[in-house]
Amino acid sequence: MDYLEFYKLKEHPFSTAVDNRFYYNSSQHSEAIIRIKYAIDTMKGLAVVVGDIGTGKTTLARRMLDELEEEKYEAALLVVLHSSVTTDWLMKKIAVQMDVKNPGSSKVELLGQIYERLLEIHESGIKTVVLIDEVQMLQSQEIMEEFRGLLNM
């Protein structure tokens, strides 16, 4: 008899993949979602969620993505997988996540395309939301400057 049968479980209880079915809306998570939604709806430009490893930041990001209504928000989630990310890689990934058609190869071209896409989305009455998970991996000052530039758009 395995433990699923012994404990009368329907599926394996522990996984490395995030599963929103098991989201627990603690008071801290509820407060974080309220604050993030406020930052989005008032177009604050940037909201940051910090917490120790295992506190649910990734789960919260995925939950946030699921909760944003497609009629009101153009939303995407970008997950940083390693610390050697370049600004070119980041800009291209943001462009792809924002559904930029045929992203350019130069940073100047990409920024122009992102700007045009942001205008297009804004003019349709929708708000753009880009959630970035594991952003602590981005330790380059150059990347932080790119974020600042994007936020100015």
Q: How many domains does the chain have?
A: 1
* Residue 18 pLDDT: 76
Query: Among 37-46, 70-79, 83-92, whose mean pLDDT is lowest?
Result: 83-92
Percentage of the chain exceeding pLDDT 90: 44
Residue 68 · residue 127 · CB < 8 Å:
no
Cα-to-chain-centroid distance, residue 137 = 14
What are the residues whose beta carbons fall under 8 Å from the beta carbon of 152, sequence distance 6 or more?
none
pLDDT digits (tens, 9 = 90+) for 19-40: 777 788 899 999 999 999 999 9
Percentage of the chain exceeding pLDDT 70: 100
Separation between Cα atoms, residue 123 and residue 118, nearest integer Å: 9
Its domain, for residue 13, covers 3-152
pTM for this entry: 0.81
Sign of the dihedral defined by the CA atoms of residues 79, 116, 149, 49, in that order: negative
Residue 104 · residue 110 · CB < 8 Å:
yes
